[in-house]
A and B are shown apart, each in its own frame.
Chain A
Amino acid sequence: MKTVEDLKRLREQLHSQVRLRHDGGTQIIVGMGTCGIAAGAREVMTAVLDEIAKRKLSDVVVRQTGCIGMCEKEVLLDIARPGEPRITYGTVKPEHVPKIIAEHVVNGHIVEELVVGKLER
């Protein structure tokens, strides 16, 4: 630690350590009801975590939710960017995950062909 700039750089690098404990950022919500798990929610979740790590995304939190009644469309994956509607994607497979994250989470373009619902905020 030699200069103030060193400290600032270090803080940027370390930000991810405590990021989860603060509000804000984009939320990725995986349906983890019994139906979701049976449809492969675990694999989708793992794919999401891998993709976030690969892209070193820092302003994203991954959460889970229970069954919302649309079991045949599981695995359901919701993306909520700050200030935008919450978009629900259905029948998500692990192979869809990189696309959803690249287009929606990173660039803000909804992947229309997978959408099953939209929740206005």
Chain B
Amino acid sequence: MERVRAHVLICAGTGCTSSGAKQVEAAFQDHLAKKGLEKEVRIVETGCHGFCEMGPLVIIYPEGVFYVRVQEDDVADIVETHLLKGRIVERLLYKEPLTHEKIPSYSEIGFYKKQQRVVLANCGHINPEVIEEYIAEGGYEALARALTEMTPEQVVADVKKSGLRGRGGGGFPTGMKWDFTRNAKGDKKYVVCNADEGDPGAFMDRSVLEGDPHRVIEGMAICGYAIGADEGYVYVRAEYPLAIKRLKIAIKQAEEMGFLGDNIFGTGFNFRLKIKEGAGAFVCGEETALLASIEGKRGMPRPRPPFPAISGLWGKPTNINNVETFANVPIIFTKGADWYASIGTEKSKGTKVFALTGRINHTGLAEVPMGITMREIIFDIGGGIPEGKKYKAVQIGGPSGGCLPEHLLDLPVDYDSLIQAGAMMGSGGLVVMDETTCMVDVSKFFLNFTQSESCGKCTPCREGTKRMLEILTRITDGEGQEGDIELLETLAYNIKNTALCGLGQTAPNPVLSTLRYFRNEYEAHIKDKCCPAGACTKLAGFAITELCKGCSLCKKSCPVDAISGEVKGLHSIDQAKCIKCGACLAKCPFKAIIKG
């Protein structure tokens, strides 16, 4: 007899698992059994809630109380106080960083207030390994509608009408892409899901696959029906073991229930899904390299055209979309294309999931309507910059994107406004930087990434990015030369115009955008041999000023004995010995040590 009165939702995403969610779950099982509550209270493992900074997260229904940073030792208290006696365990509630107010419920928390969770609606809400929970929330109804009430043409027309654009980076209209593949001639066609998420700091695709895999499967099956494909591949990197595990479970369950396989809903439509595990090369996120990798060849791009829609996997017409794009599809068919198109801006419809990382209080995932400002994302949802530091820039779009400085914080975020500002939506990774971040160093970091991920097939990317990286390294080492900036620009434009694939064509973007907004920092490195942010250690110098009281704390903290001076006397730093570690600066109680 079903007599469950409470659900304990424990986040089992990668973030919360690494902060101890499994131990918390075991403790719940243990303590519930001790109190004889195991039949009344159900434990539900869920996917990611996005608020990874505060994990492990535990939510208890029907009250909807949101507990953060729950550890094994807290569980006894939650079971006794909350589940047995119905009182909230105040000490485990989330506290707003500014007001210190304790917030018991999910929807009241600043991090969630401005979010609009469409793609992530089920993430953290259902158990991703139980297909019944997905169905109970209306899952596979979109597929049923599309298959039984609509022609493939109508399905494509609805996706066009919704205004959905590719969430993987470029923002190509999804409906148009489906139409190309649908109209391409071929007896066999494929649907491919690009889950080769590789941008540093981006993890939205992983979280969707971990938290709601059926949504992606459903989106792919609808696509298969629309374009006339009976087979699909999910290309997912092997570094995402949990995503692969849950996806495998989901595919098996969907087959058993008849949502995948032959004659789906008795309509004669057949669709099967396979998983291809990628080895983690960034270039395999490029569609032609990805297809080569599925075919068992080396993951290298080829010139387009022909586009995959005409000649893709094994030469057959193939439609490739990103995880988040497919995850957006079902809702277009349950709530309607008009409803979908009512969210967002004129040319960018729907919502976008952003991964917040870097110098930000609330590291995590946030889904917001297109057109929201960067200020709202970083300060209202992300909780601003830690330690009262000043905002400097946000890098958006990963190694292919660019940065947005402070004066662009109020820019409404959509595909087109970001391109105009010299950045791009990319997959939606946001790396926030504060005043202590050096912008030359940042562009060096991203270029180092693209340079080492370059497949080497075309010369502009293979050689060009290497030369650019050398110049940037020399600038941050204090050996920058007159003319370096101009040389960087020339190389950047040449690579952009001549590289074979998206990786190379966009690789110079971080350099170009930092040059556009922070040219003075480059100049300071080259002309004044100084790093304004104080981040480039080879350019940093430490000095002790008259404020020194002679406490000798700095002397004790110095690992190389570069500081000398008598107690109560003015101390000084031997610049020849100093390794610029900054230990003295951190120790000085009188702010007598300066860096510059």
Contacts and interface: CB of A to CB of B under 8 A. Distances in A.
A80 to B, nearest CB: 12
Interface in B24-79: 40, 61-64
A43 to B, nearest CB: 12
B132 A17 contact: yes
A57 to B, nearest CB: 11
B138 A20 contact: no
Interface string B122-147: 00011000001101111011001100
B6 A20 contact: yes
A64 B83 CA distance: 8
Interface in B225-284: 257-259, 265-266
A85 to B, nearest CB: 20
Interface in A5-61: 7-8, 10-11, 14-18, 20-21, 23, 27, 30, 32-33, 37, 45, 49-50, 52-54, 61
Nearest to A49: B3
B101 interface: no
A63 B265 contact: no
A107 to B, nearest CB: 22
Interface stretch (B84-92, B174-182, B482-490, B585-593): B84-92
A31 to B, nearest CB: 9
B251 to A, nearest CB: 15
Contact of B141 (A7, A15, A32, A53): A7
Nearest to A61: B62
A104 to B, nearest CB: 18
Contact of B85 (A10, A33, A52): A33
Which of A3, A17, A45 is packed against the most chain B CB atoms within 10 Å? A17
A29 B40 CA distance: 15
B258 A20 contact: no
B84 A15 contact: no
A18 B85 contact: no
A17 B138 CA distance: 12
A118 to B, nearest CB: 21
A17 B133 contact: yes
Q: Which secondary structure dominates where chain B touches chain A?
A: loop
Contacts of A15: 136
Interface in B418-472: none
Contacts of A63: 62-63, 86
Interface residues of A, number: 33
Contacts of A50: 1, 3
A45 B148 CA distance: 46
Given A33-B85, A66-B87, A11 B6 contact: no
A16 B135 CA distance: 12
Nearest to A16: B2
Interface in B1-26: 1-7, 9
A119 interface: no
Nearest to A51: B3
B138 to A, nearest CB: 7
Contacts of B265: 1-4, 7
A61 B6 CA distance: 9
B4 A20 contact: yes
Contacts of A111: none
Given A53-B1, A63-B63, A2 B135 contact: no
A1 B7 CA distance: 28
A49 B42 CA distance: 14
Contacts of A2: 258, 265-266
A53 B258 contact: no
Contacts of B133: 14, 17-18
Contacts of B144: 4, 7
A53 B87 contact: no
A79 B61 CA distance: 18
A11 B64 CA distance: 23
Contacts of B4: 20
A23 B85 CA distance: 21
A64 B257 contact: no
B86 A32 contact: yes
Contact of A20 (B62, B126, B135): B62
Contact of B125 (A10, A21, A23, A45): A21
B10 to A, nearest CB: 13
Contacts of B148: 3-4
Nearest to A2: B266
Contacts of B85: 32-33, 37, 64, 66
A89 B87 CA distance: 20
Nearest to B88: A66
A116 interface: no
A61 B64 CA distance: 12
Contacts of A71: none
A21 B265 CA distance: 29
A67 to B, nearest CB: 10
Contacts of A37: 85
B61 A7 contact: no
Contact of B136 (A3, A17, A64): A17
**Cβ-closest 5 pairs across A and B:** A64-B86, A1-B258, A14-B136, A61-B62, A49-B3
6 contacts: A14-B136, A15-B136, A17-B136, A20-B6, A20-B61, A50-B1
Given A4-B145, A14-B133, A21-B7, 6 more contacts: A3-B265, A7-B141, A14-B136, A21-B62, A50-B1, A63-B86
